[in-house]
Structure 1
Amino acid sequence: MTEQARSAARGILHPGLAPGHFVHEQRPPSPDLAPWIEHHWFVAWDLRGRAPRSQATLPHPNVHLVVEGGEALLWGVQRARFTRTLAGCGHVHGVKFRVAAFPAFHASPVSELADRQVDARQVLGDEVLRLIEPPMGGTPEAGQERMEALLRLKLPPTVDGRAERLAEIVRAIGADPTITTVDQVCWATGESLRRLQRDFHHYVGASPKWVIARYRLHEAVALLQSGEARPDADLAQRLGYFDQAHFIRDFRRLVGETPGAYAETLRREAEAIGTAAGSR
């Protein structure tokens, strides 16, 4: 897979808004929090006088802490497609926790948060009020400073070695498109199926089978976005499907349209972006 396709493999189904109207910035955490935080993210938009814009993603197996509009929420692993319509103007601050790292802040299985968005105070305590009172400013720096101050209050004294091992396994699944079954993971890692399933339930928040399927669909989306693959039986086989019908079914269930229809949508969007750029 080329770097072009790899960079697109983030689960964003229809990338981007017009420059100047939409900002999506990622910032690394401070070094002392790097074992638990993958990155901070900040989204801002100004669509006043313009039509609302929908953004859709296939989320990764991560927990997020999100602050927006006077609320602080914890988002568990979202197994369905996540769609958000942006209108008017606004901004959101978020923290993306590293895969398997969230039990450092909460002892219960991460799977209990799956497909849920809960008041962060239920998990992190009333100190979360520091994130919303007074309201955060609309800059990435303001959000990062206040979020990190809160999380430092909750840090464990040491890094969980089992969490690091599971994160390493998930990274390998994401990086290797030839991994299509849990049996392959067990064989490559020496992990037993039962222990892997149990620990993914507790630390990751989704099953190993789900993680594999999600990353292979990320791969499909990236390959179609980059033009490196056609929406045909060869792509299905490349991603570990025994037949094209099952691939089309899974793709449509999560993306909302068949691979062929999605490729056509991408083509039309590219044409529209090119037309808009040429008219400036």
Structure 2
Amino acid sequence: MSADPGKPRGVLHQRLEHGEFQHARRMPSPALACLIEHYWFVSWDLRGLPAQQQETLPHPNVHLVVEPGLTAIYGVHTGRFVRLLEGQGRVFGIKFKAAGFFPFYGAPVSELMDRSLDPGHLFGNDAARFEAEVFASEDVDAMSAAAERLLLAHWPPPDPNVARVSMIVADIAKDRSLTSVEALAQQTGLGKRALQRLFNQYVGVSPKWVINRYRLHEAIAQLQAGAPVAWAELAQQLGYFDQAHFIRDFRKLVGCSPAAYARTEAERGRPD
């Protein structure tokens, strides 16, 4: 397994105000890379310090998360994820590729939207053993190795649609010109209804949702970069009809206006 696959996208606050915070990721082995995006690990130490709130934007991915009292398989979360960090803790997760969870689940992934599932329903007694291994492990590499053993023991039969849908989602993420389902249909050669059916079955959310979220991820990345922003121009680049529509979507997902978010991130980045 290779080391950290790069900077995460969608984390709203790149720096905590105080305390120790670690976020590491590991790539899966080549044998598992067709269905697994990466493994991730988060730890924090705020003992004796005030609690801090961390927020992330949703991705079109299912996660298997291991944490004391909260271990579960989580479907696509449609709103921003808010977590209050306090004391000392750590969390390990398996991030399935978009469409990569369907072969394990065998049912429309949309059934899990904003819901969770006991890992034992899919992995039987191996789920509890995996959880115990993660709790006993001292580092992310050992946790990732335990995840590999679990997944290989329950590896599903191949499904040709998985690679196809995963590639479509990857294209949405990297191609900023894909700002509508119509454009996606033209690029893929699939009708809008066919795209809708595939995304409902394999991804768990609609193609429109995926396009909108990745364009907002792009907006967050630009604001975090700290460069001056022409709001009307940015809204147009992201496929919005007008600046007001962009601001409404941004505020609904992030909880504040783009300008307010940019100011907050700038203040966090200033030295004390």
TM-score band w.r.t. shorter chain = over 0.9
What corresponds to 1:200 in structure 2? 199
Deviations 1:222-279 (A, max 9, x none): 11111345262221111111111111111000000001111111111112xx12xxxx
What corresponds to 2:54 in structure 1? 55
Corresponding residue SS for 1:101: coil
What corresponds to 1:243 in structure 2? 242
Give the deviation of 1:70 after TM superposition.
4.8
What corresponds to 1:97 in structure 2? 96
Corresponding residue SS for 1:191: coil
What corresponds to 2:83 in structure 1? 84
What corresponds to 1:210 in structure 2? 209
1:206–1:33: structure 2 CA closer, same or farther, 3 Å change rule? same
Residue identity opposite 2:148 in structure 1: E
Deviations 1:167-186 (A, max 9, x none): 11111111111111000001
Give the deviation of 1:125 after TM superposition.
2.6
Corresponding residue SS for 1:225: helix
Give the deviation of 1:127 after TM superposition.
2.1
What corresponds to 1:137 in structure 2? 137
Distance 2:57 2:131 in 1: 28
What corresponds to 2:164 in structure 1? 165
Distance 2:207 2:173 in 1: 12
What corresponds to 2:72 in structure 1? 73
Residue identity opposite 2:99 in structure 1: A
Residue identity opposite 1:41 in structure 2: W
The equivalences for 1:4-23 within 5 A come to 10-17=9-16, 21-23=20-22
Residue identity opposite 2:269 in structure 1: A
Residue identity opposite 1:153 in structure 2: A
Of 128-137 and 96-105, deviating more is 128-137
Of 258-267 and 147-156, deviating more is 147-156
Distance 2:256 2:69 in 1: 35
Distance 1:117 1:252 in 2: 26
Give the deviation of 1:34 after TM superposition.
1.4
Give the deviation of 1:188 after TM superposition.
0.9
Deviations 1:132-184 (A, max 9, x none): 336332421231122221111211243x2211011111111111111110000
CA contact (8 A) 2:15 2:268 kept: no
Does 2:49 match 1:44? no
What corresponds to 1:155 in structure 2? 155
CA contact (8 A) 2:110 2:203 kept: yes
1:167–1:233: structure 2 CA closer, same or farther, 3 Å change rule? same
What corresponds to 2:261 in structure 1? 262
Corresponding residue SS for 2:217: helix
What corresponds to 2:3 in structure 1? none
Of 247-256 and 219-228, deviating more is 219-228
Percent of pairs with identical residues? 49
CA contact (8 A) 1:8 1:225 kept: no
1:195–1:256: structure 2 CA closer, same or farther, 3 Å change rule? same
Residue identity opposite 1:137 in structure 2: S
Corresponding residue SS for 1:264: helix
Q: Where does the alignment leave 5 or more consecutive residues of structure 1 unmatched?
A: 1-6, 276-280
Deviations 1:81-108 (A, max 9, x none): 1011111111111110111111111101
Distance 2:7 2:132 in 1: 36
Q: Where does the alignment leave 5 or more consecutive residues of structure 2 unmatched?
A: 1-5
1:142–1:42: structure 2 CA closer, same or farther, 3 Å change rule? same
Distance 2:246 2:160 in 1: 36
1:226–1:133: structure 2 CA closer, same or farther, 3 Å change rule? closer
Distance 1:74 1:198 in 2: 23
1:235–1:9: structure 2 CA closer, same or farther, 3 Å change rule? farther
Distance 1:233 1:225 in 2: 18
Residue identity opposite 2:136 in structure 1: M
Residue identity opposite 1:72 in structure 2: T
Instruction: Please report the TM-score for the alignment, with normalisation by the length of structure 2.
Output: 0.92
CA contact (8 A) 2:66 2:92 kept: yes
Give the deviation of 1:9 after TM superposition.
7.0
Corresponding residue SS for 2:178: coil
Instruction: Please report the TM-score for the alignment, with normalisation by the length of structure 1.
Output: 0.90
Corresponding residue SS for 2:83: strand
Corresponding residue SS for 1:23: strand
Of 131-140 and 110-119, deviating more is 131-140
Corresponding residue SS for 1:22: strand
Aligned length: 266
